Amino acid sequence: MAGRLSSRRNLPYLLVLPSILGLLALIIYPIGFSLVNSFRQWNLQTSPVPLGFVGFLNYQMVFQTTPFLDSLRNTLILSVAGTFIEFWFGMGIALLLATQLKGTNAVRALLIMPTTIAPIVAGFLFRYMYYEKGGLLTWLLTQVGFPVPPQGLLGSSTTALASIALADIWQWTPFFAIVLYAGLLSIPEDIKEAAIVDGATGLRMFAWITLPSISRTAIIVVMIRFMQLFNMFDLVLVLTRGGPGTASRTLSYNLYQEGLVNYNIGVAAAMTWLIVIIVTILINVYARVAFRGWEW
């Protein structure tokens, strides 16, 4: 709703100024800090203060001494697979809810509960259920004949990343379900009826009418969730600490390890910039698609 109250030209800028200044004040330091120190030798293990400038050595060290590429690969797998599964699983539930049978509202209210939980708590919940001996999920999977690795679901390189993904899927599928359900409800009846008159049924109806009608909603939630998955940290910290080996290490965890465990500030700063560049590209691509033709 573009306003018509533009009598004072500078007023709107005055009103947004506090938030801009506040946020700038908050982010300028980290950005400047990371930029400067990414070119300086500064390792709290060897010196309390930054030493000299070392060119691109820290950037080189990101690749030479930390599993950055492994982490990037894991992060991408997690984000793409996680978003995909959560979207379609959520869509399925939304379609179930859209039948509008009695009790749908109560179901909807209960269903969102996993999403309300702090990710770290969700991590604990799954860590408990994944426990090798007596963990509920491990036990259930064994009962149905699933080959649970002897070192536990979190301890095996083949299942560690998937186990993190499952916890995330549990927590965020309801988010997709509820948002997509809202999208489904907003499809005008007459469009649906017109389609039925044209002979559309089942899958065709879904592909031709339903999906296009909620595409905008879908793109926005996919963008939000993909980025949240891309930044995954809490679950990794509680479930696997990136292990075994680097099997479930994400970019965020890799940065945490280098900066706040090893206190290698220079290399961490360089890694920060590499991640910022990747994220900026992703956000721009997404935002351009998601908010194309948006009415501001």
Which 57-116 residues touch other proteins, going by CB under 8 A?
A: 57-58, 60-61, 64-65, 67, 93, 96-97, 99, 101, 107, 109-116
Q: How far apart are CA 72 and CA 88, in angstroms?
A: 24
C-beta of residue 163 within 8 angstroms of C-beta of residue 251:
no
Can you name the residues that pair with 40 across neighbouring β-strands? 53
| Number of CB atoms found within 10 A of residue 62's CB | 25
**Using CB under 8 A, which residues numbered 220 to 279 contact other proteins?**
220-221, 224, 227, 230-231, 233-234, 237-238, 241-247, 251-252, 255-257, 259-265, 267-269, 272, 275-276, 279
Quick one: which of 38, 183, 184, 248 contacts other proteins (CB under 8 A)? Answer: 183
Q: How far is the CB of 81 from other proteins (least distance, A)?
A: 18
Residue 121, interface with other proteins (CB under 8 A)?
A: yes
**Using CB under 8 A, which residues numbered 153 to 182 contact other proteins?**
154-157, 170, 173-175, 178-179, 182
C-beta of residue 247 within 8 angstroms of C-beta of residue 153:
no
Q: How far is the CB of 199 from other proteins (least distance, A)?
A: 16
Residue 30, interface with other proteins (CB under 8 A)?
A: yes
Please choose, from the candidates 222, 223, 248, 244, the residue with its C-alpha nearest in 3D space to the C-alpha of residue 235: 248
Q: How far apart are CA 278 and CA 273, in angstroms?
A: 9
Quick one: which of 84, 139, 206, 208 contacts other proteins (CB under 8 A)? Answer: 139
Q: How far is the CB of 197 from other proteins (least distance, A)?
A: 14
Q: Which is nearer to other proteins, 81 or 237 (CB)?
A: 237
C-beta of residue 229 within 8 angstroms of C-beta of residue 82:
yes
Residue 128, interface with other proteins (CB under 8 A)?
A: yes
C-beta of residue 89 within 8 angstroms of C-beta of residue 169:
yes
Quick one: which of 72, 76, 77, 131 contacts other proteins (CB under 8 A)? Answer: 131
**Using CB under 8 A, which residues numbered 196 to 215 contact other proteins?**
none
C-beta of residue 233 within 8 angstroms of C-beta of residue 275:
no
